[in-house]
Amino acid sequence: MRILIQRVSRATLSIDGREYSHIDGGLLVFAGVEAADGDDDIAWLAGKLLRLRIFDDADGVMNLDVTQAGGQIMIVSQFTLHALTRKGNRPSYIRAARPEKAVPLYESFVAAVRQGATGRVETGVFGADMQVALVNDGPVTILLDSR
């Protein structure tokens, strides 16, 4: 499983031109499930996400995690994180999990994050055409892969 984390001042997710969810500061997380992923990948990434110290402390040093900073989290499914681009110009998504496997693992990841988070945890809709607007704070963008 791969997650792309962006520290944001705010983020809004819209579906069909209507706001579906938003956060006012914290982490925007794009999550892609790979065919080989399982429960161990979910547990490791959820824990790593919640403990990742990328928020400034009183001295301006990135030393706080999202819960210590009082941040919110938005998790958005994104199979394109598993794009293979080595050959040709058209990405291949053969490593991305099929929906019948990806949906339950994505939902397990969201549940694990909600269990450990102290702030709001928002989501998108798996498989929907979503528009995400964000203000990246820093900018801080980190890619984590459970493999």
Do the Cβ atoms of 14 and 20 come closer than 8 Å? yes
- Taking only the tens place, the pLDDT of each residue in 103-128 is 999 999 999 999 999 999 999 999 89
| 78: annotated active-site residue | yes
- Say which of 80, 115, 118, 131 is annotated catalytic: 80
**Confidence bin at 147 (pLDDT 50/70/90):** confident
| 79: annotated active-site residue | yes
Look up the pTM and report it: 0.95
Q: Which residue from 124, 113, 120 is spatially nearest to 48, judged by alpha carbons? A: 113
Give pLDDT, residue 29.
98
pLDDT of 135 > 90? The answer is yes
| 80: annotated active-site residue | yes
Counting Cα atoms < 13 Å in the Cβ hemisphere of 11 gives: 29
Burial of 42 (0-12, 13-18, 19+ CB in 10 A): buried
Residue 105 DSSP code: H
Q: How far is CA 92 from CA 2, 13, 36, 76, 140, in A?
A: 16, 26, 16, 20, 27
CA 22 and chain centroid, separation: 14
- Say which of 12, 30, 72, 79 is annotated catalytic: 79
- Say which of 30, 78, 109, 123 is annotated catalytic: 78
Q: Which residues have CB under 8 Å from 16's CB, separation 6+?
A: 129
Residue 97 DSSP code: P
Q: Which residue has the tokens 């988070």?
A: 117
